[in-house]
Amino acid sequence: MKTLALLFFSLSLYLLPNPTHSTFNPIRLPTADEPLASSTPVLDTDGEELRPGQDYYVTSVTWGAGGGGVKLAGLDSQSACPSDVIVSRNSFDLGNPITFTPADPNATEVSPSTYQSFSFNVASNKVCQDKLSWGVQYDRRSGQYIIKTGEFVENLSNQFKIEVAQPSLNAYKLTYCQFGSDKCYNLGKYTDRRSRATRLALSNNPFFVVFQKASDV
């Protein structure tokens, strides 16, 4: 059963958005081997460099409605383990700790415009995993490409990037990029009418975030 679940998750990551048929358009971003506009690493709310393997809360840069943190949720009543990535509507809810792992195994910091894997690091039960990597899955019901979690898959999980949005605020946006391609897509908020949850999904409108060390809370 676990093997089938992993296979399904892996195959779903191949269902990449086709700009001819999708309702949003790809954006052009630098790839890891191109010169970056800035050599400054991604910074947290303390102004310190993001470190691979450390836990951070990813929260909205704005305060108020829809200004909560990114968290793991179980929106499918038929699934025993949570696998949905949502944004809390409570500004005081920081969400769940998230770990950033550069595709480059020699990286000592998290840099903008470079391939990363994102994963939740949450306490779970014996049935569910504790570390869940992000991926993209097409949701046929809504017609959206939503962010889901599953086991890490080499060269499939490493398809996310962090891009600078507002340097003075240490604010960023998250993007999904087909590995080895220059096509990238913003991660934005999508309201699921059935569950009334705010999901993370590929979008024309980016979700602007800041990173807070989990150890600070």
In the chain, where the domains are located:
2-216
CB-count burial class (<10 Å; 0-12, 13-18, 19+) for 52: middle
pTM above 0.85, yes or no: no
How far, in Å, CA of 27 to CA of 212, rounded?
27
- pLDDT one-digit tens code per residue, 98-149: 999 999 999 999 999 999 999 998 876 666 776 789 999 999 988 999 999 9
Would you state the CATH architecture of domain 2-216?
A: Trefoil (2.80)
pLDDT in tens, the chain (217 residues): 433 343 333 334 334 444 333 455 665 544 444 444 457 999 999 999 999 999 999 999 987 666 799 999 988 877 778 899 999 999 999 999 999 999 999 999 999 999 999 999 887 666 677 678 999 999 998 899 999 998 777 666 789 999 999 988 899 999 999 776 778 999 999 999 888 899 999 999 999 999 999 988 7
Instruction: Please name the helix (run of DSSP H) or strand (run of DSSP E) that holds residue 11, with its range, or none.
Output: helix 2-12
